[in-house]
Structure 1
Amino acid sequence: MAHSIDPAPKAVRGFVPARSDEERYLMRHIEDLARTAESRGIPRYSAFLSDREQDLARAALNRAAVPENVYHFEGGWPGAERRLLCLEPEGSWPDSPLCCVRLTCRVQAGAALPAHKDYLGSLMGLELRREALGDIVLPSDAPGTAYVFALEPAAQLICQELLQAGRVEVTTRLLPLEELPEFPQAERTLQTATVSSLRLDAVLAAMLHCSRSMAAELITVGRVEINHLPVESIHAPVYEGDVFTVRGKGRFGLTALPGKSRKDRAIIEFFQY
């Protein structure tokens, strides 16, 4: 295992601006929510945001000088990827629209259970907007059960209209958040490698266990994103906390840059989602 003999100072990636009209609209909307919450002293909540949209929301709040103690992100469970922005000024009464619906399959023993895509397809078949839906959690210790996080109107519609997921009949129950079980956390294997430099082609080659030339080709043909932004420069620097999406290969998180090895190579720690 690599051994750090030269701890490196922690580096962070700077603000990345909106890249489309839709993202600019989202940032303006977030600023409007923040102004309303501050001026009227009442809570305000966004729809569900992806991790990229959460980054944009933070940038909008920073631009509007909103104190960090008046907002947080909430997805219903500790490992949530899709989350609401909750703006709750001091002294206000929280009124979150976040709900959870438990789906229970009615299927004979041994029959195939719905997968995540089956649940999502059935929910979208109700003509729900994607931003009205949060995570869909399928606990490994409860086969045939799914937990759908949704905004309150969407949760009510699911309880009234959803009869099956894929080809399997389901029953629904609106579940108070305080009754949620503790979901088993997905096990992610942390990997360690050493690289000659902290530039994208070298780090990507280590993550994919391929040559730097192959990593460079993936980058230059546009198959690589850092933090959901396309990048085509093999020389792009990487930072602790970056998320790398490689189309056709998967998604990777760079968790730490512990320093240098005895051979003066940079140490990286990462995992694959």
Structure 2
Amino acid sequence: MSSIYQHFRPEEAPFIDKVTSWIEQVEIQYAPKLTDFLDPRQMQIVQMMVGTKGEVKVDFHGGNETLERKRALLYPSYYQPVESDYQLQAFKITYPSKFVTIEHRQILGSLMNVGLKREKFGDILFHEEVWYCIVAHEVSDYVRLQLNAVGKTKVDVSECSLVEIPSFKEEWQEKKLTVSSLRLDVIVSNIYSTSRQKAAEYIQSGLVKVNWQQTDQVSFVCEAGDVISVRRKGRSTIVAIEGHTKKDKIKVTVGVKK
């Protein structure tokens, strides 16, 4: 097993162990295993690990192809998954939009405040004055009963079909950087055109996530493929690390969400 950990960061070891147990469960029981919602980095890890196991397959579903957070279904090779296996329930959240504004973070906070773990619900989307969210079916009754306000705003929560969930496409603008190191504070400073000191403040204040996980370590070393988000400043990804300049600076290509 030690060879598996070499391919991942040390802090990902607990999740690696969890995926290993899922794979073993499918192999032993010869039956599908449905997970909670995973972020894209977790899905990548599951895909990489299952890819080495010929008798175990995996697929993901979170509402539609464009959504970010999805449930994984690990299953034996004989099994043919259907949509109902993923046990997803979509909700519409309506409110008096002419008079108040509701933000993504407020809905996220409200779902957490009613006692839901983040793993039990997927993407939260806004389209034409309506918010949508996708939750695990096992908590859908609870959500319908408990979620009646977002902040001080009364809301109406009603079930809807997955086909009603809007699709979206992220657009990224490529940017070439030359940086002194791959430390997180250096990368954030360069991507978002701010001072290194300010970047460090963002990180230490809990405003920065790498691969959907909050980190307060300014010295965190970034790698190709990492997704970085800074609250209220947007999301970016390290597309490629392209070697050194003659002055030993590091050439990096990043994608910045438009």
The answer, yes or no, to whether TM exceeds 0.5 is yes
1:90 Cα offset (Å): 1.9
Q: 1:198 to 1:77 in 2, by over 3 A?
A: farther
In structure 1, give the amino acid aligned to 2:26.
A
**Structure 2 match to 1:271:** 256
| Structure (1 or 2) with the larger CA radius of gyration | 1
Report the Cα offset of residue 271 of structure 1.
1.0
Residue 75 (1) aligns with residue 78 (2) = no
User: Which of 158, 161, 165 matches 1:172?
Assistant: 158
Aligned to 2:9: 16
1:199–1:117 distance in 2 versus 1, CA, 3 Å: closer
1:172-251 alignment, distance < 5 Å: 172-175=158-161, 177=162, 179-188=163-172, 190-195=173-178, 199-200=182-183, 203-210=187-194, 214=197, 226-227=210-211, 228=213, 231-233=217-219, 236=221, 238-244=222-228, 251=235
> Using the alignment, how far apart are the partners of 2:144 and 2:204 within structure 1?
45
Q: TM-score, normalised by structure 1?
A: 0.68
For 1:267 and 1:158, the matched residues in 2 are separated by 43
Identity %: 21
Quote how far apart the aligned CAs of 1:100 are.
Answer: 3.0
| Contact 1:49 1:82 (8 Å CA) reproduced | yes
Candidates 144, 147, 168, aligned match of 1:159: 144
Aligned residues: 245
Structure number with greater CO (CA < 8 Å, separation at least 6) is 1
* C-alpha RMSD of matched pairs (Å): 4.1
Change (3 A) 1:70 1:58: closer
TM-score (norm: length of structure 2): 0.71
Secondary structure of 2:155's partner?
A: strand
SS in 2 for 1:18: helix
Unaligned runs of 5+ in 2: 1-5
Indicate how the Cα distance of structure 1 residues 152 and 112 shifts in structure 2: closer, same or farther if over 3 A, else same.
same
Flag the structure with higher strand content.
2
1:106/1:37 Cα in 2 relative to 1: closer, same or farther (>3 Å)?
Answer: same
**Structure 2: distance between partners of 1:30 and 1:46:** 10
